[in-house]
């Protein structure tokens, strides 16, 4: 289950010290090793100026750039296959007043994560969250699919608390804090998690709702849909390679769909090939297309 880690550390750890510690001591593929960094991470949260220093740099950047930084996420630093960020959690009053844009925050929406991460309460009263457990490996990945959830706990995540969330295991739903709050996140971004799916869930109906639009896989699919509209012979070869070799199942399915749209005369053969894919999501979609073509 999502792990609450008890660790009192009165010392203040700098961002550079924490990053150096992770580089030298943490095996990012080992959850126990990541969890062992909790006291250092708790020490990082003792730096009361950490987030505001970066926020000031971000505000200053707005005077020199046309780009607009996220209202919720403040990037702090990184190392190989990990990074540190601050997440800002506004209250209902902040959202109702128009001080922040509501759609940027995943409140009241159950979701999992496609990466392991550690989080610590940094500022404010903190939010409440309900945590559930499921088995990613049992999912086909189809919106509307039934999910077997197990309720774990409801907690109030306050300043100083440290928790670990497991990729493809822990599902949670967050509720706005009474006052604006901030958390720090130690994000583990090893190569294998970058092709995993992340989901939104409907807990009442116990079903998979959809995929977040900001996922790398969602962005890839958007590009492949455009390729299906304007592609040429070179595009077909690239799509064929993607459909056979890409590690992301959604990307492979999108490549098959784009191929069939670019070359409708070969659609049957394309979907027959898709039936040999190792993932149920691709195979079921291919069988459906073949059945529709035969009806």
- Residue 8, pLDDT score: 84
Q: How far apart are CA 207 and CA 202, in angstroms?
A: 5
Length of the chain: 295
Q: Which among 291, 284, 282 is positioned nearest to 259, based on CA atoms? A: 282
Q: How far apart are CA 266 and CA 275, in angstroms?
A: 15
- Residue 157, pLDDT score: 95
Q: Domain-by-domain residue ranges, the chain?
A: 3-210, 216-294
- The structure's pTM equals 0.79
Q: How far apart are CA 185 and CA 89, in angstroms?
A: 13
Low-confidence spans in the chain with pLDDT less than 50: 62, 65-69, 295
Q: Which among 291, 251, 258 is positioned nearest to 275, based on CA atoms? A: 291
- Residue 71, pLDDT score: 60
- Residue 65, pLDDT score: 46
- Residue 215, pLDDT score: 62
End-to-end alpha carbon distance in the chain: 46
- Residue 231, pLDDT score: 79
- Residue 1, pLDDT score: 59
CB 147 within 8 A of CB 134: yes
- Residue 59, pLDDT score: 61
- Residue 182, pLDDT score: 92
CB 132 within 8 A of CB 171: yes
- Residue 62, pLDDT score: 47
CB 18 within 8 A of CB 47: no
- Residue 68, pLDDT score: 43
- Residue 222, pLDDT score: 78
Q: How far apart are CA 9 and CA 7, in angstroms?
A: 6
Q: Which fold has domain 3-210?
A: Jelly Rolls (2.60.120)
């Amino acid at each position: 289950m999502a792990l609450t880690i008890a660790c009192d550390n009165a010392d203040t750890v700098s961002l550079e010290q924490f990053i150096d510690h992770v580089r030298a001591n943490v095996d990012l593929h080992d959850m126990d090793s990541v969890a062992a960094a909790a006291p250092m991470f708790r020490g990082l949260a003792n730096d009361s100026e950490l987030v505001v220093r970066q926020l000031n740099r971000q505000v200053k950047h707005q005077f020199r750039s046309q780009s607009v930084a996220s209202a919720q996420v403040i990037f702090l630093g990184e190392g190989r296959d990990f990074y540190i960020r601050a997440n800002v959690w506004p209250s209902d009053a902040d959202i109702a007043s128009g001080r922040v844009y509501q759609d940027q925050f995943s409140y009241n929406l159950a979701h999992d994560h496609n990466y392991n991460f550690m989080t610590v309460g940094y500022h404010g009263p903190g939010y409440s969250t309900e945590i559930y457990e499921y088995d990613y490996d049992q999912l086909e990945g189809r919106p509307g699919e039934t999910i077997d959830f197990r309720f774990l706990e409801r907690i109030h995540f306050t300043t100083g608390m440290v928790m670990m969330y497991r990729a493809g295991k822990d599902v949670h739903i967050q509720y706005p804090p009474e006052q604006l709050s901030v958390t720090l996140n130690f994000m583990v971004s090893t190569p294998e998690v970058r092709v995993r799916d992340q989901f939104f869930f409907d807990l009442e109906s116990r079903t998979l709702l959809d995929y977040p639009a900001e996922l790398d896989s969602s962005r890839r699919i958007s590009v492949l849909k455009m390729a299906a509209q304007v592609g040429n012979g070179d595009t077909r070869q690239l799509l064929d390679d993607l459909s056979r070799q890409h590690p992301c199942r959604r990307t492979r399915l999108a490549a098959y769909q784009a191929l069939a749209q670019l070359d409708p005369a070969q659609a049957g053969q394309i979907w027959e090939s898709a039936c040999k894919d190792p993932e149920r999501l691709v195979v079921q979609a291919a069988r459906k297309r073949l059945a529709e073509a035969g009806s």
